[in-house]
């Protein structure tokens, strides 16, 4: 039913500026979440475990789609096993100038240069509090992905990560240190050993023992990937998430948009990086993300050794029935 609604509205939505379409969809998801949720199917249970959390499905919603946590109950109804909100920065910020999201329709890809627009930790914390008080808190684990404000100098970055994490940890089942988005100047440099260790330490300190994961870029070579694993281990991270968007262009973009590339053609790069990461990570759990758009790809990343998978761009092109379809495919295996 919900898929039919998607098919009917997709033609209109895809005529709009991609970010406008996204805003409209989230507006509807926030206000009509219950009705839309009632039309949705979750698919069968596919039990999985991530950092000690019990999941009803290993398929999660990746960070960035519901940055401000406006539609948590709906994501659960679509069949996601967990949801990651954010990236949340301590102070609200508007992000980069628009237009900043572009569709590569043929390739089923997106290029985005958003730069963490979000309402800030305080406002998002207040929204989560309201959801909890209203008794509408979802039954699936919620991850909180944190970052730094654009105007915070790199030397003070760890204080930003700590502050956002400290404000939201009470709502989080796990926290994510995002050092891999390409649209905040200098952010990816924080994947280097010393900075990463400092930031991880700051977040672990306020985590109250909840799992802290590090999200990595697909553009890291083998050595920095292995170093990130070392920092993760030594600093008490519970796991890793790979990958974020790439600054490379897995398919040509004749219009040469700036930003991070996601979606279907990212899959081979993400999978290749995951192979290297999984070999280095040993028993540290890894979440696979990048170009997952159906059961085959989700299954391929789980077969590689990922504890769970996430997706974002696939939902835009395949529609709200995607998580349930993946759950059905995985349950048959
Ligand atoms: C428009 C857009 C915004 C994103 N924002 C964030 C973000 O705020 N934080 C983050 O960690 N990842 C963000 N991502 C990256 C996704 O979480 C994911 O890692 C990436 O898109 C690859 O997965 P996909 O191919 O399934 O989209 C964003 C992706 C897109 C397309």
Ligand 1 close to Cβ of residue 112 (< 6 A):
yes
Ligand 1 close to Cβ of residue 103 (< 6 A):
no
Give 315-320's long-range contacts (Cβ < 8 A, gap of 24+): 315/61, 315/65, 316/22, 316/110, 317/108, 317/263, 317/264, 317/293, 318/293, 318/294, 319/2, 319/3, 319/6, 319/7, 319/10, 320/2, 320/3, 320/6, 320/36, 320/40, 320/78
Closest ligand 1 atom number to CA of residue 310? 26
Question: What is the number of domains present in the chain?
Answer: 1
Q: How far, in Å, CA of 28 to CA of 210, rounded?
A: 32
Q: Residue 62 Cα, ligand 1 centroid: separation in angstroms? A: 6
CA dihedral over 28, 32, 36, 42, signed as positive or negative: positive
CATH of the domain at 56: 3.20.20.70
Query: What is the reported pTM?
Result: 0.98
Residue 32, C-beta contacts closer than 8 angstroms, at least 6 positions apart: none
DSSP state of 150: T
| Residues 321, 252 contacting (CB under 8 angstroms) | no
Q: Residue 114 Cα, ligand 1 centroid: separation in angstroms? A: 10
pLDDT of residue 228: 96
| Residues 309, 302 contacting (CB under 8 angstroms) | yes
Q: How far, in Å, CA of 309 to CA of 228, rounded?
A: 20
E strand map for 125-173: 142-146
Nearest residue (by CA) to ligand 1, atom 5, is 64
pLDDT digits (tens, 9 = 90+) for 298-318: 999 999 999 999 999 999 999
Strand partners, 109: 104, 263
pLDDT of residue 290: 98
Mutate to test the pocket of ligand 1, among 262, 297, 310, 317 (most ligand atoms within 8 A of CB): 262
Expressed as residue numbers, the domain containing 231 is 2-332
SS3 139: coil
Ligand 1 close to Cβ of residue 317 (< 6 A):
no
Regions of the chain where pLDDT drops below 70: none
To the query of whether residue 181 is one of the catalytic residues in this protein, the response is yes
Q: Residue 281 Cα, ligand 1 centroid: separation in angstroms? A: 22
Ligand 1 close to Cβ of residue 246 (< 6 A):
no
Q: Residue 272 Cα, ligand 1 centroid: separation in angstroms? A: 18
Q: How far, in Å, CA of 74 to CA of 66, rounded?
A: 11
pLDDT digits (tens, 9 = 90+) for 158-207: 999 999 999 999 999 999 999 999 999 999 999 999 999 999 999 999 99
Ligand 1 close to Cβ of residue 181 (< 6 A):
yes
Ligand 1 close to Cβ of residue 217 (< 6 A):
no
Q: How far, in Å, CA of 71 to CA of 116, rounded?
A: 18
pLDDT of residue 1: 83
Distances (CA, A) of 25 to 39, 76, 321: 16, 16, 15
DSSP string, 48-81: EEETTEEES-SEEEPTTTTTT---HHHHHHTT-S
Structure token digits, residue 76: 């659960």
Q: Smallest Cα–Cα separation from 116: which of 90, 142, 141, 155? A: 90
């Amino acid at each position: 039913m919900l898929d039919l609604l998607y098919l009917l509205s997709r033609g209109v939505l895809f005529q709009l500026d991609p970010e406008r379409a996204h805003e409209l969809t989230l507006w509807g998801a926030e206000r009509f979440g219950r009705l839309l949720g009632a039309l949705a199917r979750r698919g069968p249970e596919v039990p999985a475990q991530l950092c000690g959390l019990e999941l009803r499905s290993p398929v999660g919603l990746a960070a960035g789609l519901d940055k401000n946590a406006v539609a948590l109950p709906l994501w659960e109804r679509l069949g996601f096993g967990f949801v990651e909100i954010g990236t949340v920065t301590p102070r609200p910020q508007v992000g980069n100038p628009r237009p900043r999201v572009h569709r590569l329709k043929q390739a089923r890809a997106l290029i985005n240069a958003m730069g963490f627009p979000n309402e800030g930790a305080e406002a998002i914390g207040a929204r989560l509090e309201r959801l909890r008080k209203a008794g509408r808190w979802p039954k699936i684990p919620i991850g909180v992905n944190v970052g730094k404000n654009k105007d915070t100098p790199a030397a003070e970055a760890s204080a930003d990560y700590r502050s956002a994490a400290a404000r939201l940890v009470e709502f989080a089942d796990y926290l994510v240190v995002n050092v891999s988005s390409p649209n905040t100047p200098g952010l990816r440099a924080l994947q280097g050993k010393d900075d990463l260790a400092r930031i991880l330490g700051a977040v672990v300190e306020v985590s109250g023992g909840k799992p802290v994961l590090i999200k990595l870029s697909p553009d890291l070579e083998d050595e920095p990937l292995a170093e990130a694993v070392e920092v993760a281990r030594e600093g008490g991270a519970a796991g890793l998430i790979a990958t974020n968007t790439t600054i490379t262009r897995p398919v040509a973009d004749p219009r040469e948009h700036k930003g991070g590339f996601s979606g279907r053609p990212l899959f081979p790069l993400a999978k290749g990086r995951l192979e290297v990461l999984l070999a280095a990570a040993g028993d540290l759990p890894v979440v696979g993300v990048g170009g997952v758009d159906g059961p085959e790809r989700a299954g391929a990343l789980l077969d590689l050794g990922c504890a769970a998978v996430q997706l974002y761009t696939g939902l835009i092109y395949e529609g709200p029935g995607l998580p349930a379809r993946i759950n059905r495919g995985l349950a048959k295996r």
